């Protein structure tokens, strides 16, 4: 039994101003799906406590990941940005060396303005992972909530940063939160309702780290060699070679692209590029405001259940970690920040058993065949 108290500040805490939607979790990880019929009108959840401690002993209870979208030509893909990502390296260079190639175009389709991104994609943008439990079915145990940081997860973060408010995920006085996604427009709109007037005492297992998902292990990271090779195939030769000059990674075998086609004049520009000023600053929608109750609320006691422990995902090999396609048009801002997410360590397959006699026979036959 290991109950870790959640901290208001911990290593890896902090969210930046960005937006995104989608999910990039390993197969088999139970998660909240807002497309399910029971969640179309919103999901009432308890955000659970810390799943580990950082180097200072503070309880870590959420994880921020970076995601790049719209990568590729005809089929657009998205992937979690790994440490020292080759596509991210390219993105930080291309605006300087080839601003014409890096330009984002706009088209109007069905009366809606959509952005067309270059082949290296858009982003990175930010998502946040939480351990949560369904308020109406605690027996399911911990599941993973994967939501955008912008106008969604940041509401929870700001609530818990206020020392005048109680921690939202204290299992002895847990406050339920309703998340709802509305996809009527070109981009999903999120609402986050914190029921500050309600408090519940959750089963102790839902505070035990053994029953929670290790959020460092549930993320699906891509194979960096595959990213590098695909980027080389979809990028004009001169631009690829110039922008990837100096890139090194122990998991990537680098090589210069071979010229098969000449880039257009717009792609050959080699001058400093400045992002054009936006015609109007987009006003951020007002965030949900919740006030703490004037009088303390006595927590209700949840019934006891036989709650399952969180399954620990098997470490996937680098070859099995692939990018996930998405067709959804998005308005994302390429921040050009360096990556800081560490990919999971690859596993090695176990060689099959071979007898000495069988090995000698194989070698003799091979020599005869040669």
Residue 304's Cβ-count burial label (10 Å; 0-12, 13-18, 19+) is exposed
CA distance linking residue 260 with residue 263, whole number of Å: 10
pLDDT in tens, 218-259: 999 999 999 999 999 999 999 999 999 999 999 999 988 876
pLDDT score for 11: 72
Q: What is the mean pLDDT of the chain?
A: 77
pLDDT score for 312: 72
pLDDT level of residue 277 (50, 70, 90 thresholds): very low
52: left (phi over 0), alpha (psi -120 to 50) or beta: beta
pLDDT in tens, 1-57: 578 878 776 776 665 433 333 357 998 999 999 989 999 999 999 999 999 999 999
Average pLDDT over residues 202-227: 95
pLDDT level of residue 300 (50, 70, 90 thresholds): confident
CA distance linking residue 143 with residue 165, whole number of Å: 25
* H or E element that contains 87: helix 86-97
pLDDT score for 20: 32
pLDDT level of residue 194 (50, 70, 90 thresholds): very high
pLDDT in tens, 312-342: 776 544 333 333 333 323 333 333 333 334 3
CA distance linking residue 250 with residue 240, whole number of Å: 20
pLDDT level of residue 298 (50, 70, 90 thresholds): low
Peptide bond preceding 69 in cis form (omega within 30 of 0)? no
pLDDT level of residue 121 (50, 70, 90 thresholds): very high
pLDDT score for 315: 52
pLDDT score for 282: 34
pLDDT level of residue 306 (50, 70, 90 thresholds): confident
Q: Give the whole-number percent of the chain exceeding pLDDT 90.
A: 54
pLDDT level of residue 305 (50, 70, 90 thresholds): low
Is pLDDT of 82 > 90? yes
Q: Exposure string (b/e) for 130-143, b if CB count within 10 Å is 16 or more?
A: bbbbbbeebeebbb
Q: Exposure string (b/e) for 159-190, b if CB count within 10 Å is 16 or more?
A: bbeeeebbbbbbbebbbbbebbbeeeeebbeb
DSSP tag of 74: S
Tokens describing residue 51: 């799943």
Q: Determine the 3-state secondary structure of 192 from DSSP.
A: strand
φ, ψ at 88 (rounded to 5°): -65, -40
Q: Determine the 3-state secondary structure of 333 from DSSP.
A: coil
Residue with tokens 């397959």: 349
pLDDT score for 295: 56
CA distance linking residue 287 with residue 299, whole number of Å: 26
pLDDT score for 302: 60
pLDDT score for 209: 94
Strands 200-201 and 300-301: parallel
- CA atoms 17, 124, 186, 155: torsion sign: negative
Average pLDDT over residues 203-209: 95
Is pLDDT of 192 > 60? yes
Q: Determine the 3-state secondary structure of 247 from DSSP.
A: coil
Q: Give the whole-number percent of the chain exceeding pLDDT 70.
A: 68
Tokens describing residue 63: 């994880």
CB atoms within 10 A of CB 355: 8
pLDDT score for 143: 97
**pTM check: above 0.85:** no
37-325 CATH pick, 3.90.480.20, 3.40.50.2300, 3.90.198.10, 2.60.40.1180: 3.90.198.10
pLDDT score for 256: 87
pLDDT level of residue 109 (50, 70, 90 thresholds): confident
């Amino acid at each position: 039994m290991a109950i870790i108290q959640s901290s208001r500040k911990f290593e890896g805490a902090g969210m930046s101003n960005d937006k995104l939607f989608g999910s990039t979790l390993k197969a088999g990880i139970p998660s909240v799906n807002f497309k399910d019929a029971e969640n179309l009108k919103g999901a009432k959840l308890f955000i659970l406590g810390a799943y580990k401690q950082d180097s200072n002993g503070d309880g870590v209870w959420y994880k921020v990941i970076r995601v790049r979208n719209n990568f590729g030509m005809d089929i657009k893909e998205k992937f979690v940005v790994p440490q020292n990502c080759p596509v991210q390296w390219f993105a930080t260079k291309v605006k300087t060396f080839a601003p014409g190639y890096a330009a984002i175009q706009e088209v109007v389709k069905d009366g809606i303005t959509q952005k067309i991104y270059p082949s290296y994609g858009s982003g990175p943008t930010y998502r946040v992972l939480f351990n949560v439990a369904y308020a109406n079915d605690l027996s399911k145990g911990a599941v993973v909530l994967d939501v955008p940081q912008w106008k969604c997860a940041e509401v929870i973060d700001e609530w818990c940063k206020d020392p005048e408010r109680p921690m939202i995920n204290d299992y002895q006085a847990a406050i339920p939160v309703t998340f709802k996604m509305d996809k009527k427009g070109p981009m999903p709109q999120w609402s986050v309702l914190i029921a500050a007037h309600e408090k519940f005492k959750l089963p102790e297992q839902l505070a035990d780290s053994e029953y929670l998902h290790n959020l460092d292990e549930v993320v699906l990271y891509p194979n960096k060699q595959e990213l590098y090779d695909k980027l080389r195939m979809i990028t004009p030769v001169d631009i690829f070679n110039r922008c990837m000059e100096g890139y090194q990674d122990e998991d990537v075998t680098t090589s210069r692209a071979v010229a098969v086609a000449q880039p257009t004049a717009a792609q050959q520009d080699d001058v400093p590029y400045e992002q054009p000023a936006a015609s109007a600053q987009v006003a951020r929608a007002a965030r949900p405001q919740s006030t703490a109750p004037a009088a303390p609320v006595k927590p209700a006691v949840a019934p006891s259940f036989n709650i399952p422990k969180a399954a620990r995902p098997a470490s996937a090999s680098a070859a099995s970690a692939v990018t996930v396609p998405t067709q959804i048009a998005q308005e994302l801002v390429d921040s050009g920040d360096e990556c800081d997410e560490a990919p999971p360590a690859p596993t090695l397959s176990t060689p099959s058993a071979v007898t000495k006699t069988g090995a000698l026979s194989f070698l003799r036959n091979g020599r005869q065949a040669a």
